[in-house]
Amino acid sequence: MEPLPLPVNPIGVPGFAGGMNMGDVQQVRDENIDVDAGQRISIDQAGELVAARFEEDRTQFFVSVYNLPSVLAVRSLRTDKIGQLCSITGTVTRTSDVRPELLTGCFRCGKCGNVERDVEQQFQYTQPLMCTNPRCDNRSEWQLETADSTFVDWQRLRVQENSDEIPAGSMPRSIDVIVRGEVVEKAKAGDKCIFTGIMAVVPDAGGLSRAGEAAQTSRGALNNSEGVRGLKALGVRELTYKTCFVATSVLPAEVRSGLGNTR
């Protein structure tokens, strides 16, 4: 009985002939495995390179919402509007300078050198609760790494209700409006604008702190200041809150009525 011939090109190698022995077949198979592994390594390296490039060139996006069906007056803002998307109208009476605001901070532990990234700020300078290093018990000694932190433009506007919305015999109501990113420098004193965003509640720590003391959250740190004494000298440190409006869009009031801003 004649021996069966080897199949032609059994492993898909171009130029493979049926006269090769098993050693040659194994050598060709090993070479193909090396080529496939090299291709996989190249693909993985390309993916890491693209990911690193996107990581270096991270683009921040700020969503701006406008043209809501109803616009509220400053006087109608109540606690039921906290955290809800709404629009208010008013007249800008005062604007602050554009300053950098810390959105997410990168902190280095002052004891072990561990780095805590992406610490979200809660409307004031917020440090990590504690070091994630299990061998470290640091809760208060932190150093801000500005190179790895995220900053954004910030501006505060003082907005007063329009003159035609003030009831007879009443004082005009005002509220602080916070704008960030591309919305800064969109309004100046005297402009009637429509602001779209949410109403937030922040602790009024600036009025309780001592002169020159920065307002920040310090959990676990010793409080060496005395209580704020009231009329009855209770010795209880008071904590007050204030409301502000965080706007994502600022538009002239004339745009809604179709008149356009003629200035």
- Same domain membership, residue 169 and residue 41: no
Q: Does residue 83 form part of some domain? A: yes
Q: Does residue 221 form part of some domain? A: no
Calpha distance 15→136 (Å, rounded)? 65
Q: Does residue 137 form part of some domain? A: yes
CB 99 within 8 A of CB 185: no
Give the pLDDT score at 8: 46
- Same domain membership, residue 241 and residue 193: yes
Residues 6+ apart with CB under 8 A from 23: none
Give the model confidence (pLDDT) of 54-77 as tens digits. 555 566 777 888 889 999 999 999
Residue with the larger pLDDT of the pair 127 and 124 = 127
Calpha distance 246→263 (Å, rounded)? 26
Q: Does residue 238 form part of some domain? A: yes
pLDDT band, very low/low/confident/very high, at 105 (cuts 50, 70, 90): very high
Q: What is the rounded average pLDDT for all residues in the chain?
A: 75
- Same domain membership, residue 236 and residue 113: yes
Host domain of residue 79: 72-209+229-257
Give the pLDDT score at 6: 47
Calpha distance 142→113 (Å, rounded)? 9
- Same domain membership, residue 163 and residue 39: no
What is the separation, in whole angstroms, between the first and last Cα of the chain?
103
Query: Span 28-41, mean pLDDT?
Result: 50
Give the model confidence (pLDDT) of 237-263 as tens digits. 556 788 899 999 999 988 665 544 433
What CATH number is given to the structural domain containing 179?
A: 2.40.50.140
- Same domain membership, residue 243 and residue 138: yes
Strands (E), 46-98: 72-73, 85-95
Give the model confidence (pLDDT) of 136-181 as tens digits. 989 889 999 998 898 999 999 999 999 888 888 889 999 999 999 8
Give the pLDDT score at 90: 94
Give the pLDDT score at 51: 62
Q: Specify the pTM.
A: 0.61
Q: Does residue 197 form part of some domain? A: yes
Q: Say whether pLDDT at 40 is over 60.
A: no
As given in the structure block, the two tokens for residue 31 are 């070479």
- Same domain membership, residue 77 and residue 49: no
